A and B are shown apart, each in its own frame.
Chain A
Amino acid sequence: MAISRADIDAILATFETSDWRTIHLKADGVEVMLSKDGGPVPAPSSRPVAAPAVEPVQTSPPEPPAETDDGSIAIIAPSLGTFYRAPKPGAAPFTQSGARVEAGDDLCLIEVMKLFTSVTAPCSGTVTAILASDGDLVEHGQTLLRIMPDDEADS
């Protein structure tokens, strides 16, 4: 059984009301690290459920999607980090070239000192290219993937 967003929300809520300082949970290809001990400021999360004291599984801060000549959207690295196509070594990649994605689907992970940020699809469409390799050091602003949005692909 895969862990869903709702499950993570429930973990967050439990953690927030508990006396625990940290949680590190690994299950079914999902890794969750939560800490109430200040520490480095995490990248701003776009998740409204996250309380400020909690470091949630991060999602990428909204990067303005860059449209290119062919109408595809460039998915940009929100910060420098190590690029991962799969939730863990040996697991199936989140997506691949030619695959369909829905808005909000995880596309890849960016790791910064063991903190994983998932990069999600800004719209539904088809992945047309994956431009970084698993384990690559990528820079802020680097194009990781391209997605052809549905409306463009249909027209």
Chain B
Amino acid sequence: MSRLFVANRGEIACRIIAAAKALDIETVAGVSAADKDSLWAKAADRTLVLGPAPARQSYLDGNLLLHAAVASGCKAVHPGYGFLSENAAFARAVADAGLAFCGPTPEQMEAVGDKLAARALACKLGVETGQASEALDDPDAAAIAARTLGYPVVTKASAGGGGRGMRIVRQEADLAAAISEAQTEAEAAFGDGRIYLEPFVEAARHVEVQAFGLGDGQVITLGTRDCSIQRRYQKLVEEAPAIALPEAARADMEAAAAKLLGAISYRGAGTVEFLWDEAREQSRFLEVNARIQVEHPVTEMICSIDLVQWQIALAFDRFEPPAELTPRGHAIEVRILAEDADFRPAPGRITGWTPPSGARVDSGFGTGCDVPPYYDSMVAKLIVAAPNRAAAVDQLQVGLSDFDVDGIATSIPFLRDIAAHDDFVANRLSTRWLEAELIPASTGKP
């Protein structure tokens, strides 16, 4: 019997278990003590309590996860997203133990995990990367680099992600302090304080290509996503396809993604992210996410596929590429977080959970479930799909108004405000829209 170890929690753990079940593969879920009565702990064929609640002693302890996977007879490990999903040392340990890893090889992870290294690879392959500085260490070199790029500039952490190490700098007087702050933050978050500069684009969209590599140089691309609605660099609303861009620009991005991942014979699901400069109608490569992403369902909806099943099938050598794949319609996903109106985490017990009927809801929680305070605050994703964007927006508004959660505060009221906003309905959006337009207007605070 084929058996898969689930090294994650929440909705993605539920998703992995359901996908494995559909492929007739057994699952073993490794959980923390805080999650031992969770929905995914119940859904898995077997559940093993790894350690206490803190992630460092459970979901982030690669030795514990691997020991549990080996001892329970699993043949593969699915890392989900976050936690150890992009940790090359963990991927290597899994491979060394003779298990398959649902994701790229450790070498591929290293090749694209470092942003400066990924940029260099993209440059070499002729993918448009835009201008950027090298890693900076002395303030004078930074000042010269910033002048060359032109203000405003943004600092970025080479090892980074999740907005850590990012500071927008509008004038030279603020540069040295911003770089030093960014270095400290990157050092603390990633143990690597290397910072570089890029020009800051005011009206940009965050557009990404979903790709799936077979590990032999073949790469299937599955269209684009627009994830411009972000707060503090965290995506809140994601759509597919990125219809704000001309079709030719989207096709170029897909071709660039295929070239980049093909060059390293990338294996499994991965995302290539781009920044779309609306004023100049130019795209530039940002980074590669070497894992399944939170927003993968919008791609699944327009392509009528199951990406998590693809990942698992590939790990078990059972993947067969579909003969025909034509994306159709438009899909939108919103992330429902256990957060109050001031964006503070609001863990607790869910006493009522009524998702809208007819819409896809990917969740790890339900009535009677505890949302523990130790982890990410996302409790569910609401995903709608329709023949076109206008119809999808209507469905999203209906879905959000029908979604009732009691016992904990959630971001549903905030998401309703977004879905009803004229700019959202008209697709007049940028990565700065939420923080520069919607939030100041609705709270009266900048």
- Asked if B57 is at the interface (CB within 8 A of a chain A CB), the reply is yes
When C-beta atoms are compared, the residue in chain A nearest to B62 turns out to be A40
Q: State the Cβ distance, A65 to closest chain B Cβ, in Å.
A: 15
Asked whether B421 is an interface residue with its Cβ less than 8 Å from the other chain, the reply is: no
Seed contacts A81-B67, A113-B93; 5 additional CB < 8 Å A-B pairs = A80-B50, A111-B67, A115-B63, A139-B50, A140-B50
Decide yes or no: A79 and B71 within 8 Å by CB, A137-B48, A139-B48, A140-B51 being known contacts.
no
A24-65 to B contact mask, C-beta < 8 Å, 1/0: 000000000000000011010000000000000000000000
Of A41, A79, A111, chain B has the most CB atoms within 10 Å of the CB of A79
Q: How far is the CA of A142 from the CA of B36 in the complex (A)?
A: 12
Measured CB to CB, the closest approach of chain A to B29, in angstroms, equals 12
Interface membership of B52, Cβ < 8 A: yes
Bound together, the chains give a CA A71 to CA B32 distance in angstroms of 28
Residue numbers in A under 8 Å from B67 (CB-CB): 80-82, 111-113
**B72 an interface residue at 8 Å Cβ cutoff?**
yes
**Taking the complex as formed, is A141 at the interface, i.e. its CB lies under 8 A from any CB of chain B?**
yes
Q: List, sorted by A's number, 11 A–B pairs whose CB atoms are closer than 8 Å.
A: A40-B62, A41-B56, A41-B61, A79-B57, A80-B49, A80-B64, A113-B63, A113-B67, A140-B58, A141-B33, A141-B49
Q: Do B66 and A80 have beta carbons less than 8 Å apart?
A: no
The tally of CB-CB contacts under 8 A between chains A and B is: 50
Closest CB-CB distance, B36 to chain A, in whole Å? 8
Provide the bound-state CA to CA distance between A81 and B67, in Å.
Answer: 7
B residues contacting A by CB (< 8 A) are: 30, 33, 48-52, 56-58, 61-64, 66-68, 71-72, 93
Contact B57 A43 (CB under 8 A): yes
Q: Is the CB of B61 within 8 A of A40?
A: yes
With A79-B57, A80-B68 as given contacts, are A112 and B63 in contact (CB-CB < 8 Å)?
yes
- Chain A nearest Cβ from B331, distance in angstroms: 39
Contact indicator per residue, chain A 132-144, by CB within 8 Å of chain B (1) or not (0): 0000010111100
Q: Determine the chain B residues whose CB is within 8 A of the CB of A78 once the complex forms.
A: 51
Q: Kindly list chain B residues whose C-beta atoms are within 8 Å of the C-beta of A81.
A: 64, 67
For B57, B58, B67, the residue with the greatest tally of chain A CB atoms inside 10 Å of its CB is: B67
B58: A residues at CB distance < 8 A: 140
Does A82 contact B64, Cβ atoms closer than 8 Å?
Answer: no
Say how far B135's CB is from chain A's closest CB, in angstroms. Answer: 22
A137→B51 contact, CB < 8 A: no
Closest 3 CB pairs of A and B: A139-B49, A113-B63, A79-B51
Q: How many angstroms between the C-alpha atoms of A152 and B150 in the bound complex?
A: 77
Q: Contacts of B33 on A, CB cut-off 8 Å?
A: 140-141
Interchain CB contact (< 8 A) of A140 among B52, B56, B63, B71: B52
A contact residues around B57 at 8 Å (CB): 43, 79
